[in-house]
Amino acid sequence: MHNDMNINVHHITRVEGHGNIVVNVTNGRIEKLQWQVPEAPRFFEAMVRGQSYEDIQTIVSRICGICSITHSLAATKAVESALGLKVSEQADKLRILMHYSEQLQSHTLHIGYLAAPDFFGAPSVVPLVSRAIDVVKTIVRAHRVANEWSDLLAGRTTHPVTLIPGGLTRTPAEKQLRQLQKTLKDTIPDLKVIADVVLSVAGNIPKFERQTEYVSLKQTNPPTYTFYHGGITSDDNGGKVVPIEKWHNVANEYIVEQSTAKWAKWHRDSYAVGALARFNNNSELLSPMGKEAAKMFDLKKGCCNPFMNTVAQLVECFHIVETSITMIDELLTKGLKAEKVTSSPKAGKGAGCVEAPRGILFHEYEFDKKGNCIAADICIPTNQNHANIQKDFEKLVPEIINESEDSVRLKLEMLVRSYDPCISCSTHMLNVEFVK
């Protein structure tokens, strides 16, 4: 064991936002071990107050440049819940396809550009360009497909313009969906190349485990590996489903001194959300290619190695593409038709929820009779993971404390990156200290 160790990672790289890692060991005793979030609060809940229900999603999509579609969908679902609006089956499927485009966009970004350098022992993706140019091109190609997919259905790559309360502003042409379907079929070989490459370096994924509560959406009618519909579940509650409206009872948000983002806990001191949580709660419902990809990596339900979250994201890429090909078939078989959407203001309160690429996301709004927002509450996946990252630190460091300081630092950085955190998105708190 090291007698002394001082690790101070100020703003960990290859994550969205600012987070610090602090480890102080003196005379063999761990004196300080913290995952810190120093980001400034975002104030989005305050920004939307007084705004029309029609403008909510446009504003909150700016919370994130990576998950803008996800935030827009959660917000729109919350608005529709508050106003009692229903969405057609066609619009519902097109929205799910839109959501899938962002999942593929974000997952390929994280796997290829942010996590892969760790597996190859590189400081960033840039040195990998000269070492494996064809693989890097494959990742870029898959990412570009996801971007163009978002362009088609959301109106642009980020910050969608086609979503409105009650439906969508436009319907894609059959020809466009057929082309998208062909492109997705052509992407499957690229995903297999990426999976083979990740498998070739899978031995560099740390073999760390900590029993953890995993929280995600669960859809039972029909049973679906869901990113969009269903209620909240946990592997700690026997698969029971909690209504979205009860999300406050799940997140139980609280504040700590070391973080400007709130933390969360449910049945234990912390819980995890994200691809591994979705996998652990719904893996039996994966598409055939998703199951095959999981088998490649021996990823099984009940896995509690947080470093495997990246592998779970890769598994989901196969599921997303394969499921989308089927959904496009269903839309084309029924025939696409233009839909006129109308809505009117109404007093009410509603919650909306979808799975962001990095975990379950909650939006909640209340409106007056003119349809102006009078209250808002947003709970981001990464803020639900902060406490779990801290608990992982507390188990991991004593296990690796005999390793070099550089090795300990790298594994802690890898651990944080495995959660694919969006730290700046997670800072939705304001601690006001009154001077008396």
SS3 353: strand
Instruction: List the alpha helices (DSSP H) in 42-120.
Output: 44-47, 56-60, 68-83, 89-108, 116-120
Q: Where are the beta strands (DSSP E) in 175-331?
A: 215-220, 223-224, 231-234
pLDDT digits (tens, 9 = 90+) for 58-73: 999 999 989 999 999 9
- Name which of 2-6, 170-174, 309-313, 351-355 the model is least confident about: 2-6
Phi, psi of 142 (to 5 degrees): -65, -40
Over residues 308-316, mean pLDDT: 98
- Residue, of 424 and 348, whose pLDDT is higher: 348
pLDDT digits (tens, 9 = 90+) for 183-225: 999 999 999 999 999 999 999 999 999 999 999 999 999 999 9
Over residues 76-81, mean pLDDT: 98
> How does residue 404 score in pLDDT terms, banded at 50, 70 and 90?
very high
Interatomic CA distance for residues 337 and 358, integer angstroms: 33
> How does residue 2 score in pLDDT terms, banded at 50, 70 and 90?
low
Please spell the DSSP secondary structure of 322-378, one letter per residue: HHHHHHHHHHHHH-------------EEEEEEEEETTEEEEEEEEE-TTSBEEEEEE
> How does residue 237 score in pLDDT terms, banded at 50, 70 and 90?
very high
Mean confidence (pLDDT) of the chain: 95
All residues at 6 or more sequence positions from 360 whose CB lies less than 8 Å from its CB, including other chains: 215, 216, 217, 232, 273, 277, 353, 354, 381, 384
pLDDT at 37: 92
Q: How remote is the C-alpha of 173 from its chain's centroid?
A: 29
- The helix (run of H) or strand (run of E) holding residue 88 is none
Q: What is the pTM of this model?
A: 0.96
* pLDDT of 83 strictly over 60: yes
pLDDT at 435: 62
SS3 52: strand
SS3 59: helix
Tell me the sheet residues that pair with 351: 364
pLDDT at 107: 98
* pLDDT of 428 strictly over 90: no
Sheet with 5-9: list strands edge to edge. Answer: 5-9, 20-26, 29-36
